[in-house]
Structure 1
Amino acid sequence: MTDPTPTGPLCGVTVLDLTHVLAGPYATGQLALMGAEVIRVERPDGDDFVRRHGGTQEMREKGLGASFLSQNAGKRSIVLNLKEAGDRARALQLAARADIVVENFRPGVAERLGMGFEALRACRPDVICASLSGYGPDGPLSGRPAYDHILQGISGLMAMTGTPESGPMRVGLPIVDYVAGQALVTALLAALLERARRPGKAQRLQVSMLEAMTTLMGAYALHHQTTGALRGLEGNRAFADTPFSGRFDTAEGALVVTANSPAQATRLCAALGRPELAVGAGLSDAQIADALQQVFRTRSATEWDELLARADVPAAPVLTLAEALAHPQMTDSPAWPELPVPELGVTLRAPGLPFRADWAQRRLPPVPLMGADTATILDSLSPLTEAADETA
Structure 2
Amino acid sequence: MTEDRRPLEGVRVLDFTRVLAGPYATALMADLGADIIKVEGPGGDEYRHIGPFRDGESALFQTANRGKRSIVLDLRAPADLAVARDLAARADVLVENFRPGVMARLGLDAASLQAANPGLVYASISGFGQSGPFADRPAYDIIVQAMSGLMDMTGEPGTPPTMVGEAIADVAGGLFAAWGIMVALFDRSRTGRGRVVDLALFDALLSMMPSAGARVLVCDGDPVRTGNRHALSAPFGVYPAGQGHFAVAVLNDKLFAAFCTVIGQPALAGDPRMASDESRRAHEPVLAQAIAGWAGGLSAAQAVAALTAAGVPASELSSARQAWRSEQAQARGLWSDVVHPALGRISLPEQPVHFSGSPRGGRAGAPAQDEHGAAIRAELGMKP
TM over 0.5: yes
Q: Where does the alignment leave 5 or more consecutive residues of structure 2 unmatched?
A: 275-282
Cα distance in 2 for residues equivalent to 1:106 and 1:185? 19
Instruction: Please state if 1:273 is matched with 2:264.
Output: yes
Identity value in percent? 34
Aligned to 1:25: 23
In the TM superposition, what are the counterparts of 1:354-369 in structure 2 within 5 Å? 354-357=352-355, 358-369=357-368
1:153 to 146, 158, 177: 146
The aligned amino acid for 1:112 is: R
**CA deviation digits over 1:212-237, x for unaligned, max 9?**
11122233223223433211111112
With over 3 angstroms needed to count, the CA separation of the structure-2 counterparts of 1:267 and 1:30, relative to structure 1, is same
Query: One-letter code of the match for 2:300?
Result: A
Normalising by structure 1, report the TM-score: 0.90
Task: Give the alignment of 1:185-264 within 5 angstroms.
Answer: 185-199=178-192, 201-242=193-234, 244-264=235-255
213-222 vs 274-283, which deviates more? Answer: 274-283
The one-letter amino acid paired with 2:50 is H
Q: Would you identify which runs of 4 or more consecutive aligned residues in structure 1 move more than 6 Å?
A: none
SS at match of 1:50: helix
Partner of residue 39, structure 1: 37
Tell me the residue number matched to 2:280.
none
1:372 corresponds in structure 2 to 371
The question of whether the paired residues in 2 share the 8 Å contact of 1:334 and 1:356 is answered with no
Q: 1:384 to 1:292 in 2, by over 3 A?
A: same
Query: Any gaps of 5 or more consecutive residues in structure 1?
Result: 1-5, 386-392
- Please give the alpha-carbon distance, in whole angstroms, between the structure 1 residues aligned to 2:318 and 2:111: 49
Deviation at 1:42, TM superposition (A): 0.6
Tell me which moved more, 187-196 or 288-297: 288-297
Partner of 1:144: 137
Shift of 1:378: 2.0
Q: Kindly provide the CA deviation profile for residues 138-172 of structure 1, in whole angstroms up to 9, marking residues without a partner as x.
A: 11110010111000010111111112232211111
Alpha-carbon distance in structure 1 between the residues aligned to 2:329 and 2:350: 13
1:109 is the counterpart of 2:102: yes
Q: Take 2:158 and 2:224, find their aligned partners in 1: how far apart are those partners?
A: 12
RMSD: 1.9
**1:53 paired to 2:43:** no
How far is 1:282 from its partner? 6.3
Indicate the residue corresponding to 2:279 in structure 1. none
Q: Confirm or deny: 8 A CA contact 2:54 2:343 kept in the other structure.
A: no
Structure-1 separation of matches of 2:5 and 2:96: 25
Task: Name the residue aligned to 2:14.
Answer: 16
1:29 aligned counterpart, secondary structure: helix
2:76 to 67, 76, 83: 83
Contact 1:92 1:123 in 2 (8 A): no
- The one-letter amino acid paired with 2:361 is R
Query: 1:321–1:294: structure 2 CA closer, same or farther, 3 Å change rule?
Result: same
Answer yes or no: is the 8 Å Cα contact 1:92–1:120 preserved in 2: yes
Question: How far does residue 383 in structure 1 lie from its aligned partner after superposition?
Answer: 4.3
Superposition deviation, residue 372 in structure 1: 0.5
Contact 1:103 1:131 survives alignment (8 Å) = yes
CA contact (8 A) 1:180 1:208 kept: yes
Amino acid across the alignment from 1:311: A
**Number of paired residues?**
372
Aligned mates of 2:86, 2:244 — CA distance in 1:
57
CA distance in structure 1 between the partners assigned to 2:336 and 2:167 by the alignment: 22
SS in 1 for 2:185: helix
Is 1:287 aligned to residue 286 of structure 2?
A: yes
What is the deviation of 1:194? 0.6
Distance 1:286 1:376 in 2: 65
1:168 pairs, out of 158, 161, 173, with 161
1:205-262 residue CA offsets vs partner (Å, 9 max, x unmatched): 11111111112223322322343321111111225422x2210112222111001111
Partners of 1:290 and 1:19 in 2: CA distance: 51
Over 3 Å counting, the alpha-carbon distance change for 1:89 and 1:384 in structure 2 is farther
C-alpha contact 2:17 2:23 (8 A) present in aligned 1? yes
Following superposition, the deviation at residue 80 of structure 1 comes to: 0.5
- With normalisation by structure 2, the TM-score equals 0.92
User: 1: CA distance between counterparts of 2:333 and 2:273?
Assistant: 49
Q: Which residue does the alignment assign to 2:277? A: none
8 Å contact kept, 2:233–2:250: no
Report what 1:316 is aligned to: 315
- Partner of 2:331, secondary structure, is coil
